[in-house]
Structure 1
Amino acid sequence: MEREAEFRVLSSLLSDALRGKGGAALVTGPAGYGKTTLLRAFGGAAAARGAVFLSATATRTDNDPWELFDQILRHPAIPSTVPGALSHDLAEGGDRTLSAAQLHEIWKPVQELARDTPVVIAVDDAHHADDTALRGLLYLSRRLEAAPIVVVAALSSCPLDERALFSAEMSSQPHCRHVQLGPLSAADVADMVADDHGPEAAEFDRLSGGNPLLLGALIEDARDRGASARPGSIAGDHYVKAVWRFLHRGHPALVALAQAVAVLGEAGSPALLGETLAIDPMVAAQGLNTLEAGGLVDAAGFRDERARDALYAKVPARERTKMLLRAAAVLQQEGAPALRVARLLAAADDIGEPWMVGVLRNAADQEQRDGDFPCAVRYLRLARQAVARGSAEEAQITSDLAAVEWQLDPLSVVRLLPDLEAAAWAGHLRSDQTENLVTYLLWHGQREKAITHLTDREGNVRPTGWTSRFRSWLYPALLTGVGGAPADERSVEVAVIGGARIDDDILIAAEQALLNTRLDDSALVPALTALAVLVYTERLDRAGVWIDTLLKAADRRGSVTWRALVSTANSLIDVRRGVLRSATTHANRALSLISHRSWGMAIGLPLSSALDAATGRGRHDIAASLLTVPLPDGIFNTLSGLYYMHARGCHHAAIGRHMTALADFDSCGDLMREWEIDQPALIPWRSDAALAGLRLGRTAYARSLLAEQDELTQPWDMRTRAATLRVRALLAEGRDRVALLTEATTTAEQTADLVGLATGLVDLSRAQRTVGDTDAARTTGLRAQLLIEQSGLEALARQLPRDVLTAKKTRAERKPKPPQPAPSTRELSDAEQRVASLAAAGFSNREIASELFITVSTVEQHLTRVYRKLKVTRRPLLAKALNSHA
């Protein structure tokens, strides 16, 4: 086992013996390091070179010194009568302390044998030998100068097995050599596994720690599994058995110590292990050093989890619990951090004393701040089991537990709602905890119960902070139904839904709210409402920046619910930008992060986004499958349900079911009027209903809806104004239609709405063709085609006249390449052209950076130069400028 250097030391002693000079050696090393193998190899070499090899192995259970001598002397070269006679003489003496005369008699046969041939005596596991037997070896080792005898004793280097006096005496002899076996080097390990598992040599080295015993077992495991064994999966049954052999061949304390390390994990310091096992901390420290030297553990714990699990399983459950609780108590007394103590309590899955509840709650709070929500849930569940039912303490723990579970899966909170309600009625919840309770009830459709916690006995609304705003977003009827904020209140949280005038002050307040967002339940509404202000005022780039920030924070904290919500917001923004493939990706991610039932009343948001994206791309099969997702009862009493209903109506309209579509649009309108939130920035249902009405021949109905929408549209809402103009154009003829569609596309260019702009351009191209403006129609159509290709609007592409596609192809094939112009301020570099094209297609700066493998800062620099060269000031104008520049 790669011990050539050590073997040469012993061989040199044998050579001296063959020349008539005796010697001795101490071979030390941890269990499994190959001491026995080395002695056997040396014995074989000695016999091959003509020496007599006498061997013995000491055992921990043998306390009779004669046992060791008997093994040595029972050799064919020694008369068989000698051991028996010596044994009889010692037994007759009845004294375990051997005199010099008795030792002389014991070694006399060996010395006589050495007169004719060199003798090698090897004693394995000498640290187990009786003190008397070791004295006998020392007696012989002092008399080797004139006799060709070699004495080799192998001992464990474990401090717990140390035989200090024997080792010191042997080492002091001038003819004694010390052979210390260390771990195999990485190169040695690589040599041993190179034939079959060379690429995994580093893993073999890591798992074995250079211990030959463990390495051999790993090689066997790898061979059993064949060539398919992968790093991290090498260790198997052979390895586990080797670990047990290592432990049982060492000091008895090692097994208990290794099991305690397995139970306590990273908390297992020498002092704590000593307290837990009721042993001297110095003994624990020495044992840990032995486990580390033997390759079982390193600074991070067990090198392989299979070994840890095997040791852990051997500890009876009751003993494990006692060990963990004892260790937790010791750490608590020492003032250890709550997290360290709580991990032991959670592993014990039991609470023995009242102080442990406080520790678990403190640790849960820390884990929540650090984003380890599963651990926080475990601590709080354990703490909740240990307090009195119905107590104020249980109410606080239950509220904390619900807040943490909400971050992982909103559905898990449902089972806690009855207890939380009872706690609220008993006055055991703080106001912020009551706000959270109302949020959970509204989310899961328990509206009436939520209202009872929003009002006092006289029916007046309690001031409940952000929860009062939340009800306005999820249940708009509650905004006025139970005395909510007045519609003209100028604040970020009601600006959009209440139809308030949005100016620079509100926009600044929205960004400030996002800047101060902390990912907990209280931040849910501020973040979403502030994003809504940016989205509905076409600040989509800014909203996208905040989405990235929130998503990174959610990923960092491990909040699944927040990731789902932010992904939904990302998808909704992509739908408004017309980047439908990206919108589909984000919506699908949101729906996969938590179950449909976990979404509660909010499921209409990701479903509506996915529906809009599928409809815009002409993927009506996907849209139809989305409509089969079960919806919770009462969803159409929520704003989420309105978005879903509107998206469903758009799908029906796209496949020609105009009557069904109109029913959805009219229902949206009825509810929005009833809830007093009827303003187009939220849902522009009138333009869609007017279009469906026109398809059904209801011209007067369509005109009245468009007039109403014109009156309600806010000055900043260019998106809705463009949509109104597009539909109104269908009521006009000839050049009046061309004029209205031209105004509609000009208005759409002031927004990020690529779908609306592309739709307007397609309609304009067709209208221009109708009045005979063939060249203008072709130019407009080509521009629409560019947007359609950029946005993935497969359905809209089919509405383009065939000659537009033909003209585009002919133009590309026949147009001669112009001579390369001299550089000018207006010429775009290749890099600027790539960035500008993606920006015109609706990609965010982050997406452009990812697509082109550059930094966001580089994207911003390119766009600054593009705007200057093309003389545009807004991103929505890029597509037209690029087309003209081409």
Structure 2
Amino acid sequence: MMLLDRSSELTQLESALVDCVAGRPRILVVEGAAGCGKSELLATVAEQAATVDATVLRAAGSKAERRLPLGVLRQLAGSAPHTGLPVPPSPPAGPPLMTPMGQFFAALHRQSIGTPVVCCVDDLHHADPASLTYLKYVVHHARSSRLLLALSWPLGNEVQDSGFCTELLRHRGFLRIRLERLSRSAVTRVIARTAKPAGHSADVGNLYETSGGNPLLLRALLEDHRLATPSDGRREAPGADGAARVAGEDLFGKALIACLVRSGPPALAVSASLAVLGGDLATAELAARLLGITVAAVSRQIRALNSAGILDCYRFRHPAAEGLVLDAMGPSARGWLHRRAAPLLHAYGAPAPTVARHLLASARAGVPPLDAQWAFAVAHEAAGELLAENKANESVALLELAHGLCTDRETRTATKLRLAAVTWRLDPAAGEHHLSEPLEELRAGRLPATQLDALAGQLTAQGRLAEAAEAAEAREPVPRPEQRMTTTGRATPGAWFWAAVPEELDDRAAASDAVRLLRSAVLTDATAGSVAQALWRLIRCGRPQQAVHWCRPLIEEAIRRESPGWRLIFSTLLAEALLLCGDLRDAEAYALSALRCLPEGDTSLLVWAPTATLIRARTALGRYEAVDWQLGRPVPEAVFTTAYGLFYLRARGQYLLATGRNGPALEDFLRVGSLMRRWALDRPVLLPWRSDAAEALLGLGERDRAELLLKQQLSTTDGRRPWVRGITLWLREATCGPERRLPLLEQAVAESRTAGDQLALVRAMTDLGKVLQALCESARAGSMAKQAHTVAKRCGAEPLCQEILSDRPGSGTAADGMLSASESRVAVLAAQGCSNRQIAQRLHLTVSTVEQHLTRVYRKLDITRRQDIPADLPQSLVEGS
């Protein structure tokens, strides 16, 4: 410790030592706040005494030895054995006897005749009563000895023996020195002396304000700053408190706690009460009521802590000090203070969130509230207020507290439902788990009817349609405007959430409704489902570009509000919209981004929604190996009780279809249809499972079954919508005679263009080009093929690009104009017994493209195996290949 700004004190010290040498005894008392240099000044006394050959005796009081009789006096006697001072015997019960005290003083006086004697006793407020009695005897009789008695104690914790203090005041050689904090100029000199050449001049103001001029705290801050400085001399920028951010080593925290401990238990208790109350609410009156002591006692300690530079009025100077003090208390003591603070602040009129935070802190320390019912009401109210302030994490913690405090079954379940809704946006897996308790109540027949809608709504919003149906069956159906009666004669929750596109509206009206909602809605836990529904409506009503426009700011909002559940949903919807727009690479990127919203290994069922979109995007990109890896992950059976399971089955089926495995693909599509019918969601605008299944059936040569499914899809209300109509008409072409193919494909192109479905548009234009070529309209065929290739290239759909290039008009057709040139070449080689890999190598295609060509060959020629390929296909098609 450096004694800067202490010239006056040093002068008084030197004068006292001169008087001592001259035979004029002096009693020197050094007082000051903890950390201000009392011990350092006593050490300076001892050093200067040694320069005049004085005998120096030392001792220090400690809290641990306070009950040890004569502990301080024995330290004095033992610190200089050559003096011959008698070691006082252990005193009997009661005050020390006069004879031993007289003998001790006599020996001390004899020693002072030969050499001056300097007795330094630090932290005298911790001295045992017997030692104080001996020292009082010495003070009373030291009238002509060459003796300097140097004592120290902290402000606010003076020696409680009034007789001892009176004896000091009566001594004519008494001198009192009060050590104040360092001035700003002294702090500047300390920094200049301590710093490296680069200096800390820019940090002086912050360091002074943070340390309050307390030398010990200042030194700790400077040392923390030094430890944060790399060996190359480049320092980490200091924080707002002037101290560097230090990893692992926090000397300031240790110094602060040391100051408080040395200030004594009363100061430590008062600092703890102020830390619990917090800077905005901390007052002497509240701290006194919290501790159960007088305001005067609290005020005395607050003055001492201000003198130490720890406090600035009632606030801690260092921003981390409150946390350090609370950590030093221990969980149990901290919990009890928080429990007492909650009702105290509530009575004082503090906001509910402030009171609830104390309830939460006491609960985490294992200290229950005094009144559970009152605590529940406060925690519940505070959770709502914090949620309105977008503090969802705190709201969740308080709802969990309220749920644990509640004893009423109905209220407890209602709280759990609210907790599930708020938690879901932060941690979907946790949100799903919170619904387990309400589901148990439902299945036990104990869930109140007033909570059935809330449970059904949350289950549906989470895509858990099978469980949502359970909640729906437990109540009388209440028709809604957007609900439609299903084939079973009643409405289900899925019918009013996942069926986001009302049947009675046309696409333009439905899209307008969605945009109006998106413009007016404020994103909250209550509106997030409606917002997602509006985006889904835009996607399915042929407005994917508009959905892209609205998704991006919603994702930014979810990131800003640290809501990974929301971000996952909106990223998935954006990926789905981009997929329709034909932006396959961005669709893949956003699907991956959605999956990264949750930690690896997260068990939320929601992750299967972006997984399905990712599979479809990679399938369209031709990245089949990546899809193989994705499909290799085990799928929990619970996924297939959710809407996400429908999306996953469709995505897997489309991949299987693209790679020529029509049978397994058909099984997936038919399972989608079965589940959709079971949950009363059988609408093509949501998932067109019939056209998917029809495509697989055509690949298997089952044209009649395929035609039946396509007719059923067109006969539905959704069959009039461009998105559904485009993909259905494109496939109908393969089931019709030559005379109907051209108008069907022209309609399919127009409908797909209107719907904004770029991949469907490419497929329809490709097949339209083939039909035009077969009809000898080469110019139109070439134009259509060129347009199809341009769109496919822009989308990044490599398999479609290869197909279009291999089917260039003018290459000739085979099998009575039914096969394109590329399909004919593949068919010829297959008929010759070549494997798919051999065909791919011969024609410079991928194996999957060969599989797709063979699928179309089987479908167009109405065959199911290679052996049935006509033998009269022109061999010239593969000559020179």
TM-score range, shorter chain: 0.5 to 0.7
Matched-pair contact (CA < 8 Å) for 1:25–1:178: no
Structure 1 residue corresponding to 2:43, chosen from 40, 43, 56: 40
Deviations 1:542-597 (A, max 9, x none): 32343345445545555554343333322322222233333334434544556999
The alpha-carbon distance between structure 1 residues 260 and 494, as it changes in their structure 2 partners (threshold 3 A), is closer
CA positional deviation for 1:344: 2.2
What one-letter code is carried by the residue in structure 2 that aligns with 1:450? A
The alpha-carbon distance between structure 1 residues 626 and 18, as it changes in their structure 2 partners (threshold 3 A), is same
CA positional deviation for 1:338: 2.3
Secondary structure in 1 aligned to 2:474? helix
Q: Which residue of structure 2 aligns with residue 587 of structure 1?
A: 591
Aligned pairs (5 A) from 1:158-173: 158=156
CA positional deviation for 1:444: 6.7
Q: Which residue of structure 1 aligns with residue 431 of structure 2?
A: 410
What one-letter code is carried by the residue in structure 2 that aligns with 1:584? E
Comparing 185-194 with 403-412, which one deviates more in the overlay? 185-194
Comparing 233-242 with 38-47, which one deviates more in the overlay? 233-242
Structure 1 residue corresponding to 2:338, chosen from 324, 338, 347: 324
Q: Which residue of structure 2 aligns with residue 252 of structure 1?
A: 265
Aligned pairs (5 A) from 1:54-453: 59=61, 124-125=122-123, 155-158=153-156, 180-182=180-182, 185=187, 188=190, 192=194, 213=216, 234=247, 245-258=258-271, 270-288=284-302, 290=304, 293=308, 295=310, 298=316, 302-303=320-321, 308-313=326-331, 317=332, 321-349=335-363, 350-353=368-371, 354-388=373-407, 390=409, 392-407=410-425, 408=427, 409-418=430-439, 420-421=441-442, 425=446, 427=448, 429=450, 433=454, 436=457, 439=460, 443=464, 445-446=466-467, 449-453=470-474
Cα RMSD of the aligned pairs, angstroms, is: 6.2
What one-letter code is carried by the residue in structure 1 that aligns with 2:490? G
Secondary structure in 2 aligned to 1:483? coil
What one-letter code is carried by the residue in structure 1 that aligns with 2:40? T
Q: Which residue of structure 1 aligns with residue 506 of structure 2?
A: 502
Aligned pairs (5 A) from 1:684-833: 684-698=688-702, 717-724=721-728, 726-727=730-731, 748-759=752-763, 787=791, 790-799=794-803, 801=805
In 2, Cα distance between the equivalents of 1:300 and 1:756?
64
In 2, Cα distance between the equivalents of 1:239 and 1:198?
17
Matched-pair contact (CA < 8 Å) for 1:68–1:133: no
CA positional deviation for 1:508: 3.6
CA positional deviation for 1:362: 1.7
CA positional deviation for 1:255: 3.5
The alpha-carbon distance between structure 1 residues 223 and 733, as it changes in their structure 2 partners (threshold 3 A), is farther
Aligned pairs (5 A) from 1:516-595: 517=521, 522-523=526-527, 525-555=529-559, 559-591=563-595, 593=597
In 1, Cα distance between the equivalents of 2:404 and 2:70?
62
Comparing 335-344 with 692-701, which one deviates more in the overlay? 692-701
Matched-pair contact (CA < 8 Å) for 1:510–1:534: yes
The alpha-carbon distance between structure 1 residues 660 and 419, as it changes in their structure 2 partners (threshold 3 A), is closer
What one-letter code is carried by the residue in structure 1 that aligns with 2:488? G
The alpha-carbon distance between structure 1 residues 355 and 95, as it changes in their structure 2 partners (threshold 3 A), is farther
Q: Which residue of structure 1 aligns with residue 815 of structure 2?
A: none
Comparing 675-684 with 574-583, which one deviates more in the overlay? 675-684
Secondary structure in 1 aligned to 2:386? helix
Q: Which residue of structure 1 aligns with residue 609 of structure 2?
A: 605
Q: Is there any run of 5+ residues in structure 1 with no aligned partner, and where?
A: 85-89, 456-460, 805-886
The alpha-carbon distance between structure 1 residues 310 and 541, as it changes in their structure 2 partners (threshold 3 A), is same
What one-letter code is carried by the residue in structure 1 that aligns with 2:357? R
Q: Which residue of structure 1 aligns with residue 33 of structure 2?
A: 30
Matched-pair contact (CA < 8 Å) for 2:698–2:706: yes
Q: Which residue of structure 2 aligns with residue 649 of structure 1?
A: 653
Deviations 1:804-836 (A, max 9, x none): 9xxxxxxxxxxxxxxxxxxxxxxxxxxxxxxxx
Comparing 189-198 with 409-418, which one deviates more in the overlay? 189-198
In 2, Cα distance between the equivalents of 1:213 and 1:53?
29
Comparing 67-76 with 240-249, which one deviates more in the overlay? 67-76
Q: Is there any run of 5+ residues in structure 2 with no aligned partner, and where?
A: 89-94, 237-243, 809-881
In 2, Cα distance between the equivalents of 1:71 and 1:208?
34
Number of residue pairs matched by the alignment: 761
CA positional deviation for 1:683: 2.9
Q: Which residue of structure 2 aligns with residue 10 of structure 1?
A: 10
Matched-pair contact (CA < 8 Å) for 2:33–2:304: yes
In 2, Cα distance between the equivalents of 1:704 and 1:62?
98
Q: Which residue of structure 1 aligns with residue 491 of structure 2?
A: 484
In 2, Cα distance between the equivalents of 1:699 and 1:180?
98
The alpha-carbon distance between structure 1 residues 16 and 161, as it changes in their structure 2 partners (threshold 3 A), is closer
In 2, Cα distance between the equivalents of 1:704 and 1:727?
12
Comparing 55-64 with 720-729, which one deviates more in the overlay? 55-64
CA positional deviation for 1:452: 3.1
The alpha-carbon distance between structure 1 residues 482 and 191, as it changes in their structure 2 partners (threshold 3 A), is farther
Q: Which residue of structure 1 aligns with residue 478 of structure 2?
A: 462
In 2, Cα distance between the equivalents of 1:568 and 1:772?
44
1:512 aligns with 2:512: no
CA positional deviation for 1:509: 3.0
CA positional deviation for 1:348: 2.5
Q: Which residue of structure 1 aligns with residue 627 of structure 2?
A: 623
In 2, Cα distance between the equivalents of 1:324 and 1:649?
58
Matched-pair contact (CA < 8 Å) for 1:123–1:153: yes
In 1, Cα distance between the equivalents of 2:140 and 2:217?
33
The alpha-carbon distance between structure 1 residues 618 and 54, as it changes in their structure 2 partners (threshold 3 A), is same
**What TM-score do the two structures reach when normalised by structure 2?**
0.66
In 1, Cα distance between the equivalents of 2:326 and 2:202?
22
What one-letter code is carried by the residue in structure 2 that aligns with 1:452? E
In 1, Cα distance between the equivalents of 2:641 and 2:174?
97
CA positional deviation for 1:651: 0.7
Secondary structure in 1 aligned to 2:466? coil
Matched-pair contact (CA < 8 Å) for 2:290–2:340: yes
The alpha-carbon distance between structure 1 residues 791 and 191, as it changes in their structure 2 partners (threshold 3 A), is farther
The alpha-carbon distance between structure 1 residues 610 and 640, as it changes in their structure 2 partners (threshold 3 A), is same
Q: Which residue of structure 1 aligns with residue 864 of structure 2?
A: none
Secondary structure in 2 aligned to 1:246? helix
Deviations 1:65-105 (A, max 9, x none): 99999999999999979999xxxxx9998999x9xxxx999
The alpha-carbon distance between structure 1 residues 180 and 121, as it changes in their structure 2 partners (threshold 3 A), is farther
What one-letter code is carried by the residue in structure 1 that aligns with 2:329? L
What one-letter code is carried by the residue in structure 2 that aligns with 1:481? T
What one-letter code is carried by the residue in structure 2 that aligns with 1:346? L
The alpha-carbon distance between structure 1 residues 77 and 355, as it changes in their structure 2 partners (threshold 3 A), is closer
**What TM-score do the two structures reach when normalised by structure 1?**
0.66
Secondary structure in 1 aligned to 2:803? coil
The alpha-carbon distance between structure 1 residues 176 and 309, as it changes in their structure 2 partners (threshold 3 A), is closer
